[in-house]
Structure formats: structure tokens, C-alpha cells
Amino acid sequence: MFEEGIVLKQRYGDENVFDLSLGNPVMEPPVEFDQELRKLAEQPLSGMHRYMENAGYPETRAAVAAQLSLETGVKLTMKDIIMTCGAAGALNVVLRTILNQGDEVIIFAPYFMEYLNYIENHDGIARVLPSDEQFMPKLDVLKAAIGAKTKALLINSPNNPTGVVYSEALLRQLGELLHEKEAQYGTQLFLISDEAYRKIVYDKLKYPSTLRYHPQSIIVTSHSKDLALPGERIGYIAVDPDCSQQEELVNGLIFCNRTLGYVNAPALMQHIVRHLQQVTISVDEYQRKRDFLYDHLVEMGYSVRKPQGAFYMFPKSPVKDDVAFVRELQQWKVLTIPGGGFGSPGYFRISYCVDDKTLEGSLTGFKKTIEKFNLG
């Protein structure tokens, strides 16, 4: 889609193509980011571009731990944090560390499409389970799916592609279920929480943390979205301080961060983000874009669940064949992604982290396309 978008833009001009296919934030990083960057350029720290501990600078890890402790109410220290090359790097490091060949990782559809690749990278097997109509996990299905080979449950809230946020009650139920299954099989089950969009939640919703509900929790996240820095590759892993064999696990993660070839998270970004743990891009701006698009789509007759976070929408395709629908939208130069790519055919994903002009310009295509299918 990325490549197709470039070709279309070359042919028809940027302003005539409405690319809603990518999760590439339109916002610039907050001003505090520029201030820190300028400060470092004007008063460089001695040795600031050298190698450091593979887990990252102690000061950065301590700042991350302090912020997470504040948000979750669980006391973390720098020893629980490993700085990584984005959330993608974090996920690969975690999977490399915990998986043996043939171990299963459970994910719910729709899922972030790279999960399949990451699990396969480390000889794991992805067990994909369906969600309910509200895109929430079906607990009875999960209960039946966890077996002796299960190593982890990987969840993503706020979710890409649906925008749903898991409730505290659901996290509690997931934690209880994992605990029950650990006892049944005599295994250790990790709850990997992909929180790439943790700070982008709407309507004053409070984000509940898995750390409170399962001691074998591992958080993976980044500043790609909350500080709009996806190209800078800065993220982290946080391990629940109550995890059994915690020190061994953390040492394994640090080892894999090194040997997978990441070595360490980018030094410059580590120097900067340690001062920005309390800073976030404007969530109100994304909420405004969500409301604009959601209201228009509903008015046109689309069936869509209102996102509670992240910056994606996952409407039902007006026809069964989501690929045909996305192709038709493309006739109007509106680019989206078929739900099949996320393991949920019959839907399509819209990314609304784009400028207002693009969102406004896409409306005609959405309207004409649903009209065509409804009349046809």
C-alpha cells in the first residue's frame, strides 16, 4: 500500500490522493523534544555518542521506571527496564528470550499484522483466536486454547487496528485465567502487553495496566506514537518486578537485545526521552480527528465501533469481499487496508493520523463507494 500510494501520488499529485493506509503520525514531535535536541547540540555531553550498557543508560531507565510506577501504582526501578529500538525491537527481543522452538503465542484477531512475522522469527507458533463483535477476547475460547505448549498471550490495547481499549475487569479476568492455566499445566505463562498507544486514549478513559493483574507481565512499548518519533526507533521493555526468575529473565532480554544486533537503543534518543516521560503529543487533536471521521462515516451508513484509543478505525466492509471494497475506494484515490491483512476479513482499516485536508478529501470517496455497493 505504501508503494502504491507513492505511485498514485506521483501520477495524480499529493493533494489528490487520500492516503489513510499508514500509522505514520502526521503530528510533529512536541516542542519539548526540539528544546532537548537543541540543548544537546549546543552543550554536548561528554561521550554521548559512545556505546553504553546494552540495557540503556541508567538515568533513562530510571526515568522510565519512575513514570511507569506513577501510572501503574506498581513500584518499578531501573532494573526492570530495558531500552529498545522501538516497540518492534522490544517484541522481537522478548520473543527471542522466552520462546523455545514450537512454543505457542496466542493473539486475538484482528491483530497488528507484524505479530505473525515476529513470532515466526523466533520459531514460535502463532495461535490466532477470534474476538467477539466488539473486538474483545472471548474468554471461553481462550480457556480452551491454552495448553501445555502455550508460552505467552500477546495483547494490544489500545488496539491497532480497532482502537478498542481493554477494561480493568477484562485484564483481571485474563490474569485469573492465566493463573488457573499455569496451575493446571505447571507452566509459566507470560502476558505480553503491547502498549505502543498507551498514552493515546480518548474521552478521559483511564488506562489500566496488566502489571496489576498478572505477575508474569512484560510491557513492550515505544515513543513512536506518543512523541511522534517512529523514525527514531526508541522504545522499551518493562518487566513486572514480581515476575518469577525476574533477574534471569531481564538478563536474557539484555543478552538478546545485544545479540539480535540491536546492541542498544539509539543513544541520542535515550538522552532526550529521559526528560520527556511526562510529555505527550496532543491527544485532543487525534480525538477531534476521530470524531470528525466517525460522525461522517456513521452518517453515510457505515457500521463502525467508535475507537477509544490509538488512531485507527475498523469499519465493516459494506460488502463481504473487503479487498473488492478497498479496490473500489482506491478508484476515488482513498487508500485503506483490507481487514484480511489483520486476520479479520469483512472489515477494513482506516488510519486517521493524517492532516485534516486528507481526511476531508476522503469523504467523497467513502460516500460514493458505499452508495455504489448499497445500490448494486
Ligand X SMILES: Cc1ncc(COP(=O)(O)O)c(C=O)c1O
Binding site for ligand X (CB under 6 A): 23, 86-88, 112, 156, 160, 194, 196, 222, 224, 230, 235
Report the phi/psi class of residue 316: left, alpha or beta, with left for phi > 0 and alpha for psi in -120 to 50. beta
279-291 CB burial, b ≥16 within 10 A, e <16:
bbbeeeebbebbe
Residue 16 burial by Cβ neighbours in a 10 Å radius (0-12, 13-18, 19+): exposed
Nearer to ligand X, 98 or 370 (CB): 98
Q: How far is the CB of 372 from ligand X (least distance, A)?
A: 31
Angle at 94 between CA 93 and CA 96, to 5 degrees: 65
- Strand, helix or coil for residue 79: helix
The number of residues making up the chain comes to 376
Q: Which is nearer to ligand X, 21 or 156 (CB)?
A: 156
Residues 367, 373, 374, 376, Cα dihedral to 10°: 130
The distance of closest approach from Cβ of residue 267 to ligand X in the complex, given in angstroms and rounded to an integer, is 17
Of 200 and 370, which CB lies nearer to ligand X in the complex structure? 200
- Closer Cβ to ligand X, 8 or 227, answer by number: 227
Q: How far is the CB of 361 from ligand X (least distance, A)?
A: 23
Q: What residue spans of the chain are helical by DSSP H? A: 2-12, 31-42, 58-72, 86-98, 114-121, 139-145, 168-185, 246-259, 267-273, 283-300, 322-331, 356-375
Peptide bond before residue 158 is cis, with ω within 30 degrees of 0: yes
Q: Please tell me what DSSP assigns to residue 223.
A: S
Q: What's the min distance (Å) between Cβ of 328 and ligand X? A: 26
What are the cell numbers at 332? 476515488
SS3 54: coil
What's at 157, amino acid-wise? Answer: S
Q: Minimum distance from CB of 353 to ligand X (Å)?
A: 10
CB 232 within 8 Å of CB 215: no
Residue number, 89 or 318, with CB nearest to ligand X: 89
Residue with the closest Cβ to ligand X? 86
CB of 283 or CB of 319, closer to ligand X: 283
Distance separating the N- and C-terminal Cα atoms of the chain: 27
Are 213 and 174 spatial neighbours (Cβ–Cβ below 8 Å)?
Answer: yes
Beta carbon nearer to ligand X, 224 or 369: 224
Nearest-approach distance from CB 67 to ligand X, in angstroms? 17
Question: CB 349 → ligand X: shortest distance, Å?
Answer: 11
Minimum separation from the CB atom of position 247 to ligand X (A): 26
Q: Which CB, 150 or 160, lies closer to ligand X? A: 160
Q: How far is the CB of 238 from ligand X (least distance, A)?
A: 14
C-alpha dist (Å) from residue 283 to 200, 222, 288, 290: 6, 16, 9, 10
